[in-house]
Structure 1
Amino acid sequence: MTQDTQMNKHQLGQLIGANRRDHYYELHYATGEVARFYILGDGIFHYFLDPDKSFNENHTSFVDLSRFDNHFFEKSSARATSDSLIIQSGIYQIIFQQKPALMSIFDENLHRTRMTQIAPIELDKDQTTEFLKQNKNEFYFGGGMQNGYFSHKGRRINIKRDKITGKDGVLTQVPFFWSNAGFGELRNTVRAGSYDFGKSDKSVTALTHTSKVFDNFYIIGNSPTVILDKYYLLTGKPLMLPKYALGLGHIGNFITTMWQPSQAKKRNASRFDNNSYYTRTNDPKKVSGKASLNGEEEYQFSARAMIDRYQKLHFPLSWFVPNYGVQDVDQDSLATFNDYANNQDTHAGFWSNQAVTEPSPKTAFIMTNTSFSKVLDKDQQSLKTNLKRKRPLILTNTGTAGSQNKTALAFGDTGGNWENIPTQIASFLGSSLSGQPIVGAAIDGTNGGGNAQISIRDFEWKAFTPLFFNIDDQGTFSKTPFAYNSKMTQINRAYLQLRNQLKNYLYTLIYKAQTGDPILRALFIEFPHEQVNYTSQVGNEFMLGPNLLISPITNGREDSNGNSRKDNLYLPSHRTMWIDLFTGKRYLGGRVFNKLSYPLWHLPVFIRGGAIFDLGNRNYILYPQGRSEITTYDDNDFNDFNHNHTETKITSDFESSRLTVTIDPVKGDFNGMKTNNSTNLNIMCDSYPDRVTVRINDQTINMQEYGTPDTFSHAKEGFFYNTDYTWLPEFNQYQKEKQTALQIKLASRDITDSKIEVIIQNFNYGNQTLVHSITDSLLRAPKLPTVDPTKITAHSFELAWPQVSNQVQVEINGLLYDGIDGTSFTFHELTPNSRYIIRLRYVAGNKVSEWSDYFGVITKRAAIDYAINNIHVQSNLDSNKDHPLNYLTDLKLASEWETNESVSEDKPLQLTFTFDELEKLSRMTYVPRNVDHKGDPTSVGIEISSDGEKFASYGDRLTWKADSKNKVVGLRDVTAKAIRLTIYKSSGPIVAGREVMFFRAKK
């Protein structure tokens, strides 16, 4: 009987017994299973159920259990009640209910259950499923890089890499998730999985893996940082980047790329050193120049010339991969190139799709396509041998649980696409929340591209991400930061200089990531008490550390002046002041701003009130608000950073009109550290202060005031009230108005033995910004606004009202929308099929009217809801292995299918789409691919079948243009079991497309 249950799908039976062993508790179930329960640490538990009872603790490489001792297990205790076994570990009670067999974890400090199973574990010969109770306000994160998403409540995600780099793809297979209820789970398996966070049933989370073994780690923590830190205890801390990796990188193919002459008017033409234009080609007959590492062919097409070009145009390169996608490289030529790159202060890397046993001399890092632990271990060891004490770096385009300890995630996508920007923002956040904080994506993608505005906007926001690089030579368009005109090159150069200013800030964040603090942060990490911050509504913006909020431009909408139009910009916390990084304009948080306008040079970046930035060499910028502090880190870039680094704590305390800034003595040391240094404070302010007092180790020093920038610049010590201040000189050409700051300069002292305290009286900064609106009874409340039902879509609706004042504020589902004028406004980027509760009030200066009555709007269902799933497709021609046929019907617009063979009238392509059942249709949509239009169908025929066997023509043959527009075929009143699409001609040698979708008729 037991054997039968093991071979068939069943639930875990009643708990019938338990024993305490040497280092685990043994649990026995009525259905014959035996499980082991380990206590590895404070709030780290391991439940292992193996139907074969072999209990191989090292069946995966995620967790090194040898690092955990028996300490916490020995301190635990167990007791039995009439219906449960309760294991006590510290403040946690792990409760194993007997019948049904359910597990829950109770926190005695909070006096609430952290997690509980809602049904017994389901077992099958090839899969296991755990069912958890899902609470109404419980949100879920993790699962690896789920492209386009970071918050998963109400969604189902796949734990299986599919190599699709765009939206709905899965780049990293990480069987780890966590909940804001304060628990996480790591499934110890390399098998594929599916996590349903309430899509099928809002009250249930169902977690499935295709493994008969149920091997699971439970993590309890009071914050995301604690949960991620404990996850790192299990799987390894994130890679500590070498400092050069924070600079600009170039990844290219200088082995097989070929060039042909072109003209300046060609959009994809690149200008070279001989002032002639060239485009890439794969046709040997058209080649006039070939790439090489050192100029073995023609110097201007070489990797060395590319380094020269970056330097000449003032884009100093920090790192370089010269053989992307090509394994076969002459090692002598590579060694010569590495020497040259090293002399130019550029770190040379090597691309390989297999383990590199002996890197060429001066190879600083390796780029690969794998996450296999054995390959990564070999690569890491070979780099350590090569680099001696310097840190190894491995870049890869995939990952799994634990790979964050060895690799950084770097990938590319199809460029020239606005959709990539919001998709990658959410993807980066999701990666960070999955324990993989070191991440970057190629600027403007790999192939595709050609849209200058998208390229510039992509460069701007990626300057605020951990890795900053481009991947070139994979398509027809160049991806360098100087690929477009001089105006755009200047903008890119300014953002690179800004990134260099922030390197110390970034480096500190990388240190903090070692203990669970994400680098790129979803808003709820810093503002956990606002529910909106846990949702996709704010998934288009992020925090870089605690002090910078970035809200990238994500579409091509423009105002009447040609500037980017920005709506739905949310700044959290009504108690927080936010300062535009470039203009100094201040905003009160806790609201959504609309109708903002940003020129091409201006990325929406906001500094959090209270922020402190370390610009390097003890040069600090402060934006005082309340009490705040930072600790900055530094080291000598060796791999022993844990024991050889410095920490500097800076505190700002602004209360009433008194500001106190404290810089503690530097703690720690490292080889090559500079112990004597001067200190510069640049404190943003609104008016001239009364008195500045500086104390060094509690001793007051005399401070001279200087009246001009020149005299202050030559002084060793003193202060200067600067009304024309900026710490971003590279943006002076765009922003003429400067800001006001109190600058303080302190002479060189022993920074390890000097506590600096600065006290400023009558200090004022942001006092007017933090004033809230006053309700004015003379400003009458608005009558009920109106919504035109014909203008309601799945993602938007238009609201109209009688004009009484110049501006209005609208509250939608409790969130305040500001910056709205006129008599109507269209709210967009909404969730389909959702109810929005709305009210409105008039605004006049800092006065507001009473609110209108509440009313509601329900958005329409998304078109994709009517698309048919699980379509079976067959083709008479073979498909490209990297772009398989199933991509054509997977309902993922980021995946692209293409044939291996060409089509003709004599040999047309036949695609047969079969549905699971007879379907009443409304239309078919053929979505052309993004990368180019060389494989678009141009002559097609359609046939209909009601039984899947006999087909009849549907209308005449269709002629389609080769462009980016979707091709829609009306199928109203058509009922079909299958549809055949015959393609007689295409715009290129093959046929390609993103998707073929069939839509049901609306009921």
Structure 2
Amino acid sequence: MKFTDGFWLTKEGFDIQHPRNVRDVVINENTVTLYAPCKDIQHRGDTLNLPSLTIQLSSPMKNVIKVKAWHHKGTRTQSPEFDIKNELLPLECEQNEEQTILNSGNVSVNIQHKPFKITFTQGNQVLTSIDSKGVAWIKGPEKESYMRGQLNIGVGEYLYGLGERFTPFVKNGQIVDTWNEDGGTSSEQSYKNIPFFLSNKGYGVLVNHPEKVSFEIASEAVSKTQFSVEGECIEYFLIGGETPKDVLTNYTELTGKPALPPAWSYGLWLTTSFTTDYNEETVTHFVDGMAERDIPLSVFHFDCFWMKEFEWCNFEWDKDAFPEPEAMLKRLKDKGLKICVWINPYIAEKSKLFDEAAENGYLLKKANGDVWQWDLWQAGMGVVDFTNPAACEWYCGKLKGLLDMGVDSFKTDFGERIPIDVVYYDGSDPQRMHNYYAYLYNKVVFDLLEEEKGKQEAVVFARSAAVGSQQFPVHWGGDCNATYESMAESLRGGLSLSLSGFGYWSHDIGGFENTASPDLFKRWLAFGLLSSHSRLHGSSSYRVPWLFDEEAVDVTKHFSKLKNRLMPYLYSASVENHNTGVPVMRPMLLEFAEDPNTHVLDRQYMLGNSLLVAPIMNEEGVGSYYLPQGKWTHYLTKEVVDGGTWRTENYDYLSLPLFIKENSILAIGHDDDRPDYEFANNVTFELYQLQDNQQATAFVTDINGNIKGEIKAVKQNNSIHIETSMEGLTYSILLAGYENIASASAGEVDSSRDGVRVNLNGSQKLDITL
């Protein structure tokens, strides 16, 4: 929200008060509290009739500084609040007449008393600072109150994140209000609003407010990022880290690490699509058609019309289309498939469950006690009140019946159209609940899946999210169009989401609205099957590849099988995400923060820490991409090229820019028919462009994420020393790009099209002479 009229003036009707100096400092074991009047104090008379701001600094964990500022402290605390780590650490403080200094890990805070200024440093680097206007209480034209924070933006500093945003990847110059809305992928609205941004200078900021937060990012004041909330208090966390990866690790330590999705969820998901006509015969035709064409399929998803129209949600199969659902699900599962069904948190008036939910107080109410209803989406629908424990138990009971029937996962659609003119069971503030509702909704469903299926099997396909929702993967990008422009905006949304703490992300291959051309569909297939999760889904038309053309069948099969072979590598990236919060699908700047050329790239990404993907987004088949410094190997052709430059080439539909960075070891699997197999047995460790005296490492897990083996390799001149920990396992080491070697101290050696292979058993120390 803007409060000024240019640089000099305040907007009419607003009064901005900000501290001039620090009058008093109170240091306790784990807080430093500043009392800062909004006027220069020259004599005792100046202490009368003026506002004063109180600013409190603390640290909930190392390298994280909590900043809380208020005008009037007596305002009632409202719920909900983000579920974050908030136990305060003891502080290291120094103080003299001019300044107060406090430290948390490598992050230091220098508080200048007069004139007021706070500077945040990490090591010897200034991260950002708060000047005299950087904390403000603002009175509006209707006597409403706002609190504003401002942080200075340095030269060359870029900011990212704020949830899944389809606007430009670099957020400088943008105005963002964090308010969940169902706006598709072609507007400034977002399904997943996260009041957290990441800076390429090595810090992030989480504004700790579930309600709407208004961000002005180098827009109202072009050298500052500004965030404001209505009320008398503002609270945010400045999160440090030696690298952008470290910042995300600290952020997810604060707000929750992502769960580890089941390995099967990485395979291809196929849906009925949305408004298409379908029944069991249609579903069986699709599933058998994929098998007949040798296209690996992991999950079949039933979209909305598995239930009777006008009755969403009643959690009952439409018996006209699916007369024997239990038998049908068994037949599908006997084909090796997992089953997902669509749900949402709304109960239509025609649903047999509406009266039961209304009578028991399970739906949101108006202030007069009536059930809140409207006709948008479903006629007369009400909204489940997940602040009511009995409503949660009731809702889960309906889902449990589906799990008992054979369903494995739920697509948790919607959760954004949440009204604010309502009363919650627990008295929560509707403004604060609007975004937070998405967290509660998905948590209820995810927790049920963990309880019924086990922690290793729980996965949802979620659209809405709030802070902390990264704990409940997977999330997809909502309603995109069948255009190259929408393909690009979808990728921007996914990259922004990944810099907001989310490890996994998917999208509707080929676009949701309308029907893609065969050209676009085939290019989107390569992109979709080289994302963390992959789904074929549409609105009014089917998405089986043979309806586009026969080449689309070949492309689907090619990239599905490629992804399955990549599973040992991808699942190790999942384990990394589960432990560190570093996303599986990540912007280039996370891997190459030292290269400023990567800081603006939004049409390519890293899949894991070694594999670069640059989807083709044009009818000409031109791949244009940037490779950072180093030797890069094209994964499909094994061509080695030098980085540090932009490259442009033409690609057919069975290829795209897919490069492995130097000094990488990829764990590649033996099975291309499914994503969930024994990754560690018969795995191939592929070594790419090892550099002298640099250690390369990799590990391989089982399908539950337990590490089963590791490899370390060091190249020195013409020899490579390798140590493996692979007790009881058979595996291979492939030296990619070599036609022959002089010798290997162990194992059987043979040559292949891709390089020299050494076949081994058990843990080994191996020396290879090139």
Answer yes or no: same fold by TM over 0.5. Answer: yes
Correspondent of 1:657 among 683, 705, 718: 718
Q: Mapping of 1:748-787 within 5 angstroms?
A: 749=762, 754=763, 756-761=764-769, 763=770
For residue 310 of structure 1, give the secondary structure of its aligned residue in structure 2: helix
Post-superposition shift, 1:628?
4.4
Correspondent of 1:321 among 260, 284, 301: 301
Post-superposition shift, 1:168?
4.2
For residue 372 of structure 1, give the secondary structure of its aligned residue in structure 2: helix
Q: Which amino acid aligns with 1:653?
A: V
Q: Which amino acid aligns with 2:716?
A: E
**Correspondence for 1:133:** 152
For residue 234 of structure 1, give the secondary structure of its aligned residue in structure 2: helix
State whether structure 2 residue 211 is matched by structure 1 residue 176: no
Change (3 A) 1:162 1:206: same
State whether structure 2 residue 454 is matched by structure 1 residue 400: no
Post-superposition shift, 1:405?
0.9
Provide the aligned C-alpha RMSD in A: 2.6
Q: Mapping of 1:502-581 within 5 angstroms?
A: 502-514=566-578, 515-535=580-600, 538-557=601-620, 564-566=621-623, 568-573=624-629, 576-581=630-635
Q: How many residues align?
A: 637
Post-superposition shift, 1:530?
1.8
Q: Which amino acid aligns with 1:112?
A: Q
TM, length-normalised to structure 1 = 0.60
Post-superposition shift, 1:457?
0.2
Residues 610, 664 of structure 2: 8 Å contact kept: yes
Post-superposition shift, 1:85?
2.8
State whether structure 2 residue 287 is matched by structure 1 residue 307: yes
**Correspondence for 1:821:** none
State whether structure 2 residue 483 is matched by structure 1 residue 417: yes
TM, length-normalised to structure 2 = 0.78
Residues 304, 340 of structure 1: 8 Å contact kept: no
Residues 64, 104 of structure 2: 8 Å contact kept: no
Correspondent of 2:701 among 624, 634, 637: 634
Change (3 A) 1:126 1:334: farther
Correspondent of 2:448 among 382, 385, 403: 382
For residue 487 of structure 2, give the secondary structure of its aligned residue in structure 1: helix
Change (3 A) 1:657 1:444: same
Alpha-carbon distance in 1 for matches of 2:303, 2:517: 26
Alpha-carbon distance in 2 for matches of 1:422, 1:414: 10
Q: Which amino acid aligns with 1:364?
A: D
Q: Which amino acid aligns with 1:742?
A: V
Change (3 A) 1:223 1:55: farther
Q: Which amino acid aligns with 1:758?
A: L
State whether structure 2 residue 25 is matched by structure 1 residue 18: yes
Q: Which amino acid aligns with 2:744?
A: V
Correspondent of 2:270 among 250, 261, 265: 250
Post-superposition shift, 1:55?
7.7
Q: Which amino acid aligns with 2:16?
A: K
- Between the two proteins, what is the percent identity of the paired residues? 17
Alpha-carbon distance in 2 for matches of 1:56, 1:744: 68
Alpha-carbon distance in 2 for matches of 1:161, 1:35: 30
Write out per-residue CA displacement over residues 538-577 of structure 1, whole angstroms, 9 at most, x where no aligned residue: 32111112221111111113xxxxxx233x421111xx11
Alpha-carbon distance in 1 for matches of 2:513, 2:96: 64
Residues 240, 511 of structure 1: 8 Å contact kept: yes
**Correspondence for 2:137:** 123
Correspondent of 2:729 among 672, 677, 686: 677
Alpha-carbon distance in 2 for matches of 1:253, 1:469: 11
**Correspondence for 1:340:** 331
Correspondent of 1:598 among 643, 646, 651: 651
For residue 363 of structure 1, give the secondary structure of its aligned residue in structure 2: coil
State whether structure 2 residue 95 is matched by structure 1 residue 80: yes
**Correspondence for 2:368:** none
Post-superposition shift, 1:123?
1.8
For residue 482 of structure 1, give the secondary structure of its aligned residue in structure 2: helix
Q: Mapping of 1:516-915 within 5 angstroms?
A: 516-535=581-600, 538-557=601-620, 564-566=621-623, 568-573=624-629, 576-594=630-648, 596-616=649-669, 617=681, 618-626=683-691, 627-637=694-704, 645-646=706-707, 648-663=709-724, 665-666=725-726, 676-694=728-746, 718-722=748-752, 725=753, 739=754, 741-747=755-761, 749=762, 754=763, 756-761=764-769, 763=770
Residues 18, 53 of structure 2: 8 Å contact kept: no
State whether structure 2 residue 111 is matched by structure 1 residue 46: no
Alpha-carbon distance in 2 for matches of 1:691, 1:186: 55
Structure 2, unaligned runs of 5 or more = 1-12, 38-50, 139-143, 308-312, 318-322, 346-391, 416-436, 670-680
Q: Which amino acid aligns with 2:330?
A: D
Structure 1, unaligned runs of 5 or more = 1-5, 259-290, 558-563, 667-674, 695-702, 704-717, 726-738, 764-1003
**Correspondence for 1:105:** 120
Write out per-residue CA displacement over residues 929-978 of structure 1, whole angstroms, 9 at most, x where no aligned residue: xxxxxxxxxxxxxxxxxxxxxxxxxxxxxxxxxxxxxxxxxxxxxxxxxx
Residues 12, 122 of structure 1: 8 Å contact kept: yes
For residue 603 of structure 2, give the secondary structure of its aligned residue in structure 1: coil
Change (3 A) 1:746 1:471: same
Post-superposition shift, 1:384?
2.5
Post-superposition shift, 1:52?
4.0
Change (3 A) 1:330 1:516: closer
Residues 695, 712 of structure 2: 8 Å contact kept: yes
Write out per-residue CA displacement over residues 847-866 of structure 1, whole angstroms, 9 at most, x where no aligned residue: xxxxxxxxxxxxxxxxxxxx
Write out per-residue CA displacement over residues 86-132 of structure 1, whole angstroms, 9 at most, x where no aligned residue: 2244444322333443322233xx22322211333122234322222
Write out per-residue CA displacement over residues 887-928 of structure 1, whole angstroms, 9 at most, x where no aligned residue: xxxxxxxxxxxxxxxxxxxxxxxxxxxxxxxxxxxxxxxxxx
**Which range moved further: 455-464 or 29-38?**
29-38
Alpha-carbon distance in 2 for matches of 1:646, 1:426: 33
Q: Which amino acid aligns with 1:522?
A: P
**Correspondence for 2:548:** 484
Q: Mapping of 1:19-34 within 5 angstroms?
A: 19-21=26-28, 23-30=30-37, 31-34=51-54
Q: Which has the higher helix share?
A: 2
Alpha-carbon distance in 2 for matches of 1:181, 1:657: 39
Alpha-carbon distance in 1 for matches of 2:569, 2:167: 27
Q: Which has the higher strand share?
A: 1
Post-superposition shift, 1:390?
3.9
For residue 311 of structure 1, give the secondary structure of its aligned residue in structure 2: helix
Greater relative contact order (Cα < 8 A, sep 6+): 2
Residues 321, 350 of structure 1: 8 Å contact kept: yes
Post-superposition shift, 1:499?
0.6
Alpha-carbon distance in 1 for matches of 2:56, 2:327: 57
Alpha-carbon distance in 1 for matches of 2:407, 2:758: 43
For residue 637 of structure 2, give the secondary structure of its aligned residue in structure 1: coil
**Correspondence for 1:849:** none
State whether structure 2 residue 221 is matched by structure 1 residue 221: no
Residues 100, 120 of structure 1: 8 Å contact kept: no
Residues 189, 211 of structure 1: 8 Å contact kept: no
Alpha-carbon distance in 2 for matches of 1:127, 1:336: 58
Post-superposition shift, 1:658?
1.7
Q: Which amino acid aligns with 2:735?
A: I
State whether structure 2 residue 409 is matched by structure 1 residue 365: yes
Post-superposition shift, 1:84?
2.8
**Correspondence for 1:498:** 562
Change (3 A) 1:468 1:54: farther
Post-superposition shift, 1:690?
1.7
